[in-house]
Structure formats: structure tokens, C-alpha cells
Amino acid sequence: MSDTNQASITHFKQLATLVAWDEALGSHVYIENADLVMRGNTVIHAGKDYAGPADRVVAGNGLMAMPGLVNVHSHPSSEPGNRGLLEELGSDKLGQSSLYEYMPVFRTGIETAQYSNQVAMAEMLLSGVTTFVDMSLPRPGWADVVAAAGIRGVLGPMFRSAAWRTNDGHSVEYTWDEAAAQKSFEAALAVADSAINHPSGRLGAMLCPSQVDTCSPELLKAAQAAARRLGIPMQIHAAQSVVEFSEMTRRHGRTPIEWLDDQGLLDGDLIIGHGIFLNDHRALYWPHADDFGLLQRSGAHVAHCPTVFVRRGIALSFLGRYLRAGINVGIGTDTFPHNMLDEMRLACYVARLQAGHFRAASTEEVFNAATINGARMLGRDDIGRIAVGGKADFSLVDLSHPYMRPGREPLRSLIYSAGDRAIRDVYVDGAQVVKDGKLLTIDIERAMQEVERAQAQTIATVAQRDYAGRDIDAMSPRVFPSRA
Ligand SMILES: Nc1nc2[nH]c(O)nc2c(=O)[nH]1
């Protein structure tokens, strides 16, 4: 969408509440009975009493406008196919994680990736996400699929030097193949190029060496050089499992965070996916390190995705500790459902449980994490906030929804009670993508049918991939047995 003075002006008039950015305060603020005005894809007024021209006026009574949420970590091309299979699975003998025994075995294939991507983006848009980081394997056409959804996407093509596998359920083997890594790195660079130069103007890129324990120093160095050349950030999974921590300390005598620092990677251009298993985590014993201090001093960011870990009894300890030490933490969904409001609620509750204290993460901190912190790690100050000159990426929340009432504190009501049920309309880059709770841009039914087909295929063939040859009912029993 063009951003010229000729672009049409839309005036959201007399919004009951506007969550606007106050630059002087360095904070979001509530403004009651406010006007929000966009010209094309840009906000030109966010406050009281707009008196300028407008091509279209939208009544704002009963509505709250809030900034679009920024989802900093997701795997949309594969996660929707895991619904109903993976929620209660982890490996007893691999630190409760599902990464090694289950994820590689259940994964739906690349031929379903675009449909899976669409299902996930639908979930995001309907829960108020306007920007997301999409960490997937490189594939042709990826950028066009994301752009067509109307969302703002940061494509994060993943590549690695080694694949992992368990052959016994209690140890993990890494198969190294640098030639294959080089090929997928080149494919990743092509994806980054297609995103950065995409005509939609809504796409960007980051480079994602997949995991700290699967990438060689050479691959990481090449990735860092390319990211610097392109002026884009990197994200890597690190400190995400006990297995990974043990593997890195076994290989190098260094924690995953220390090792990243040794490679010269730990800086303000790196996002750590998860950052849970620092040396002081209660599941580890490695007292002679200071991962937290290293993170704090480095300026590296953390993508915090509570759901996928809490399902397995694992949690970051704890969100408020990281934030109050100045570590920039954003929120990601990682798994299904891609519902940021659910994720934000869980982020609040889990931090409080981990700390044993109700002040361990405030609503303000979590809302900031899901907006401006996420924007900051993407190097942007024009999203994650509603401010003049910024992008017109925002949601309109229905304050008349029963879960939003009584209406004293709309963001608390949204996060703790209503969730996505109260998201009425969503705009990205000035264009409406959700109207009256319905998505305008994706054929969800078609995409869902393809994901269902792919999951059925995965289920039928799971025994061929499982190290013990188990069928689906042995690997992932249903909640109740079926009776004839
Ligand atoms: N939590 C994680 N999810 C993942 N998906 C994927 O493809 N890789 C990972 C991972 O390393 N961690």
C-alpha cells in the first residue's frame, strides 16, 4: 500500500479507549474518547479531537484500539499438524522434552507447509497479531503465501549442520552433514532475499541457524556475516532443553550461552529462542558459570514461549527477573494454537508460579513484551505501538463483549478474561484483515482440510519413523479408549 499524501484517510472517531504510545513517557497510555486516523498505511493522528479531512469515518464507540501484537517465535509450517498429538508428550529419559523422540517423527511434510502456514497465520490474526516471525525450512513460494495473508511477516529460514535422532529413547545422536547445511543455508539466503524485496512491502527476514547444538562454528560464522551484510537479526534455539545443555557441556565444557559467546554471536543482533536452561536453572547443576549475567551484558534478546514448555512441566525462571535485569524479552507462540493473548496470559501466570510471587510479571510488562520489546528485537520503532508516523497495525476490541465487562481495565479484561473472543477487527499496514471476528484473507477451511489430510498420513506412517516401531496409539494414546 502506498504511503503518499494521495492515499485515502480513514478516521476511527471517538474510540472509547485508544492504547497510544507516549514518546515522552516511553510508555503505552490509555486515551479515552480518542480519534485514530490513518492515511494509507501510516498513522497520522492518535489522540483527542481530529479535525482534519477524512475519506471514511468509522464509529469508535464501544471499541478499544490497541497496537498489533508482535509474535517473535513461531513454526507455522509444521505446528498445526501436531494438534491432538503432542500436547501431553515428552520423553521421561530426555529431560521431559518432546524435541527428540516425537517432533521429528510427527512432523507433516513440506508439501503441506503452505496450508499449515495459513492455518497458523489465521490463528495469529484472529488473536490480534499483526507481525510474526516465521521460523520454517526454506521453500519456494513461502514469501507469497505469507504476503497473501495480509500479515506483516519476518521470514526466518532455518538451516543446520546436524540432524538429531534418538535410537533408544534415552540418548540423542547428531548426524553431521556440512554439504547439506551449505545447501540449506544458500536456500535460506534466497528466502531472505525474496522477503526483503517482496513487492508487498510487508515482509522482512532474519537468519535462523536452527539450534545451538546442531550448528557448526563455521555455519554460525557464515550466517552472522550474511546477517550483518543484509542488516537483519538472527534467531537460534538455545538453552531449550536439559539434553542440549548436557550435550554442549560434554562437547565443549561450556554452557550453550557461553559457547554462543565464545563464537562471537551473543550480541544485540541475536535472539535466543527460549533461553530457559541457564546454568542456574533448578534442573541443572553447573554453578561455575554466569549465563544470566552474560545474557544481561550482551544485549542479546530472548523469545519467551511459555505454552510449549509448560505442557511438559518446564518453565523460564522467571520473566520478571529477565526483564528487570534489562534483558529484552518478547513473546512467541512456538506451538499451536498461535494465540498470542493465551500466550500472554500464560506468561503472566507462569512467571508468578515460578517466582512464588504475584509481582513476578505484571500485565504492563507482558503487554510491553508482546508489543514494543518484540518490535525492538526486529529493529523497528514503527510497529508494536500506535504513534503518529508509525504503521497502521492495530486491533479494535469489542468492549461490549460480556468478558470485557465491567470495563474498568480493558487490557486486563482482554488478557485474563476475553482473549481473542473480543478481537473484532484487525488492520495491518492500513488494510483490514479481520472484520467482525472473521478473517478476510485466508480460506481457512481449505487449508485445514489439507492439514487434516497430512496429519492422517503422518499418523498412518508413524511406526516407520519411530525408533521402536510404535504405532500412533502406542506413541500418543487418546484421552479415552474408543468403544465399539
Ligand atoms: N521448541 C522448538 N520447536 C522447534 N521446531 C523446530 O522445527 N525446531 C524446534 C526447536 O528446536 N525447538
Domain boundaries along the sequence of the chain: 9-67+388-439, 69-378
Q: Is the peptide bond before 358 cis (omega within 30 degrees of 0)?
A: no
Rounded distance from Cα 302 to ligand 1 centre (Å)? 15
% of the chain beyond a pLDDT of 90: 98
Our answer on whether the CB atom of 308 is closer than 6 Å to any ligand 1 atom is: yes
Confidence of residue 6 (pLDDT cuts 50, 70, 90): confident
pLDDT in tens, 185-212: 999 999 999 999 999 999 999 999 999 9
Q: Whose CA is nearest to atom 1 of ligand 1?
A: 334
Is residue 68's pLDDT more than 50? yes
How far is residue 208's CA from residue 435's CA, in Å, rounded to a whole number?
A: 34
Pocket test for ligand 1, best of 89, 98, 237 (most atoms within 8 A of CB): 237
State yes or no: pLDDT of 42 exceeds 60.
Answer: yes
Q: Is the dihedral of CA 108, 112, 118, 119 positive or negative?
A: negative
240 touches ligand 1 (CB under 6 Å): yes
Q: How confident is the model at residue 107 (pLDDT cuts 50, 70, 90)?
A: confident
Average pLDDT over residues 219-237: 98
Read off the pLDDT of residues 349-364 as tens digits, 9 standing for 90 and up: 999 999 999 999 999 9
3-class DSSP state of 45: strand
Q: Where are the beta strands (DSSP E) in 358-475?
A: 394-398, 423-428, 431-435, 438-439
What are 17's strand-pairing partners? 32, 64
Task: Compute the distance between CA of residue 148 and CA of residue 437 in angstroms, rounded to an integer.
Answer: 19
Q: What is the mean pLDDT of the chain?
A: 97
pLDDT confidence of residue 386: 99
Average pLDDT over residues 153-164: 98
Determine the pLDDT at residue 4: 55
Q: What is the ipTM of this complex?
A: 0.94
Q: 309 near 274, Cβ under 8 Å?
A: yes
- Would you state the pLDDT for residue 484? 84
**Residue 1 above 50 pLDDT?**
no
Which pLDDT belongs to residue 7? 95
State if residue 244 touches ligand 1 by the CB under 6 angstroms criterion: no
Architecture of the CATH domain 69-378: Alpha-Beta Barrel (3.20)
Fold of 9-67+388-439: Urease, subunit C; domain 1 (2.30.40)
Q: Which atom of ligand 1 is the closest one to the Cα of 309?
A: 1
Strands (E), 119-276: 129-136, 152-159, 162-165, 173-176, 203-205, 208-209, 234-238, 270-274
Distance of CA 99 from the midpoint of ligand 1 (Å): 7
By three-state DSSP, how is residue 370 classified?
helix
